[in-house]
């Protein structure tokens, strides 16, 4: 699969540096040739000799080495590769990349390269969560850098959380995905995503709504766009930034959301993440504000909103090949979600526990079960971003079939 591909592997200074040796071997087993670059920090963890021995290639370490430059100048090094892979990518290395610094061999190559760059971050969970790191990540994403991981779990520092270097097989998969479909395996695929709550007006100032933040749906739209999909995100009222490359349509009510989704058809896939209000005012919004002194306690006559997910699932001709729904449950999550999948007629239900104890509503993490007609796949707790990336890859795999 990687026959003839040339990978420049930049190894940063983190405890996970040793995993890059295994990574290099696994890439080579699939036919790639790997050339290693070790940062000064990286050399504290593994030696140039081990990198050179395992890759059967010179390992480069020094920007100002006459020998290295005579043999292979850093510009050539950066160009004679099909992919530049940084693993582990430390917070420091990503900060340099995001800001265009070039004060050592690795950062100079990363600034000089005209090839796709993929980074596999690894660091302490607090460093990962720091605003500066998240800002740098956003910059790198906008610059077109591909990310793999990090995962969550026990970190070398003894803390638990996101920041673990992606597993080697996942990194190999990401590299293979890149070469299989270029950077954009979903290019040419149209995908509709709904996200956020809806607001159903009662009168000019009041409305019925819910606590959905829109975060998971926005992350999913961004992850799909990163894989090259043409994404239309129909969003209820939320304060989320539009992900790069996503076509966002803002709506308020369920009727507007339904109309926007219908207008966006046809599509190859639809992912309904929105927490659509089940009911709206039967007679529409009241023209005047209800007055306590005049109207007393109002009787609100409600009617049911259209079920967008069910409607998409039951379209005859013109039904998206893949329809994904979400099931937010507070108890017996898998049982209820399995029944919901059948009731709605969608292909996949992503079920999660939104009980107050889970902290999912409005929180950064999620733990989901991917339910199809024949399987239940329970993913470990991970950030909503990672759920989005993993789900985008699942969608990509289904659409590729």
Interface ranges with ligand C5P (CB under 6 A): 194, 254, 272-274, 276, 305, 307-309, 325-327
Interatomic CA distance for residues 157 and 136, integer angstroms: 23
Q: How far is CA 112 from CA 106, 108, 117, in A?
A: 10, 6, 11
Q: How far is CA 295 from CA 207, 208, 289, in A?
A: 17, 19, 10
Distance of CA 388 to the CA centre of its chain: 4
* Cβ closest to ligand C5P, residue 152 vs residue 312: 312
* Cβ closest to ligand C5P, residue 149 vs residue 325: 325
Place of tokens 């789900």: 391
Residues pairing with 7 in the sheet: 34, 83
Shortest distance, position 389 Cβ to ligand C5P, whole Å: 19
* Cβ closest to ligand C5P, residue 84 vs residue 323: 323
Shortest distance, position 253 Cβ to ligand C5P, whole Å: 11
Report residue 226: phi and psi, to 5°: -65, -30
* Cβ closest to ligand C5P, residue 194 vs residue 383: 194
Shortest distance, position 280 Cβ to ligand C5P, whole Å: 10
Place of tokens 């596999």: 120
Shortest distance, position 364 Cβ to ligand C5P, whole Å: 21
Residues pairing with 377 in the sheet: 370
What residues are labeled active site?
157
Interatomic CA distance for residues 271 and 326, integer angstroms: 8
* Cβ closest to ligand C5P, residue 60 vs residue 207: 207
Is residue 371 within 8 Å of 343, Cβ to Cβ? Answer: no
Of 65, 127, 138, 129, the C-alpha closest to 90 is: 127
Shortest distance, position 308 Cβ to ligand C5P, whole Å: 3
């Amino acid at each position: 699969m990687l026959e003839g591909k040339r990978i420049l592997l930049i190894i940063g200074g983190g405890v996970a540096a040793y995993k890059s040796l295994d990574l290099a071997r696994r890439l080579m087993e699939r036919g790639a040739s790997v050339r290693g670059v070790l940062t000064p920090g990286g050399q504290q963890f593994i030696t140039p000799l081990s990198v050179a021995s395992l890759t059967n290639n010179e390992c480069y370490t020094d920007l100002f080495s006459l020998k290295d430059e005579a043999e292979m100048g850093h510009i050539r090094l950066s160009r004679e590769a099909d992919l530049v892979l940084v693993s582990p990518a430390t917070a420091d290395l990503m900060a340099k990349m995001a800001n265009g610094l070039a004060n050592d061999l690795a950062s100079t190559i990363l600034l000089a390269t005209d090839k796709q760059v993929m980074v596999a971050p690894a660091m302490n969970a607090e460093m990962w969560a720091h605003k500066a790191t998240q800002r740098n990540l956003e910059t790198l994403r906008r610059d077109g850098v591909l990310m793999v991981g990090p995962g969550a779990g026990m970190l070398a520092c003894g803390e638990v959380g996101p920041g673990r270097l992606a597993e080697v097989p996942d990194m190999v998969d990401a590299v293979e995905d890149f070469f299989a479909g270029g950077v954009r395996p979903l290019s040419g695929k149209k995908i509709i995503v709904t996200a956020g709550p809806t607001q159903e007006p009662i009168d000019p100032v009041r409305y019925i709504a819910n606590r959905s933040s829109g975060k998971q749906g926005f992350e999913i739209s961004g992850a799909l766009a990163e894989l090259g999909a043409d994404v239309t995100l129909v969003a209820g009222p939320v304060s989320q930034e539009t992900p790069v490359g996503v076509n966002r349509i803002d709506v308020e009510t369920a009727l507007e959301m339904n109309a926007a989704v219908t207008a966006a058809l046809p599509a190859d896939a639809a992912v309904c993440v929105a927490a659509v209000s089940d009911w709206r005012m039967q007679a529409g919004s009241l023209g005047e504000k209800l007055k306590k002194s005049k109207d007393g306690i109002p009787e609100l006559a409600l009617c049911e909103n259209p079920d967008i997910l069910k409607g998409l699932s039951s379209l005859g001709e013109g039904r998206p090949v893949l329809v994904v729904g979400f099931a937010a449950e507070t108890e017996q999550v898998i049982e209820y979600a399995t029944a919901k999948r059948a009731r709605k007629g969608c292909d996949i239900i992503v079920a999660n526990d939104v009980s107050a104890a889970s902290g999912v509503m409005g929180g950064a993490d999620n733990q989901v079960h991917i339910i199809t007609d024949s399987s239940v796949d329970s993913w470990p707790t991970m950030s909503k971003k990672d759920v989005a990336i993993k789900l985008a890859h699942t969608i990509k795999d289904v659409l590729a079939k």
